[in-house]
Structure 1
């Protein structure tokens, strides 16, 4: 087990938490900005990746001391799905709005995944309680 016993997350974990919460807020703004003129199918395509982002943001709320390694891994896996799917959308965007929508998920999601992979973050999530 790790030798870290602090209840305060390290900078890397706090930065990932802030990135995920910021990304969730950006998702709400993007949905409100792009919802006009969309059919139900179009709205579903726009909403689907943001649902995973919001789940990750809810998981990030627990990073204050209650979270364990499973929460970290779940966040990483969900964000990898979001980032990989968004990369496909970035390169195949039909209009500027779709490009910006996907690019924001990549630009804020990828650093969060990298931060959660760092040894300091891993050690903090696997510390003894």
Structure 2
């Protein structure tokens, strides 16, 4: 008797799923609890940040070694450049993750005008115009 009841539950659930997928309205995706939104982006950006930090540290160490271990103006300038580069990276990281979260929260909305703008294409167009 228990297996018949189980069969009806399974068949009922399958029929409900089939009916729900055949309706013209869009199915709402239910996120898996505990799964991080934009996990791939976070992991990739974290990896990129570690690489950037290691590259900066190596360049700074090489600069100091070339300066004989003393504080040189060149090394201090390098450190400031690295600091501003890291700030730009972190700002870009924040924008990327915010865009990803926005897409996850509103999958049916269009992308923001900021994310669709390609700055490389406008620069290429300007440089092509200068060549003519």
Q: TM-score, normalised by structure 2?
A: 0.36
Bigger radius of gyration among the two: 2
Q: Which has the bigger relative contact order, CA under 8 A and spacing at least 6?
A: 1
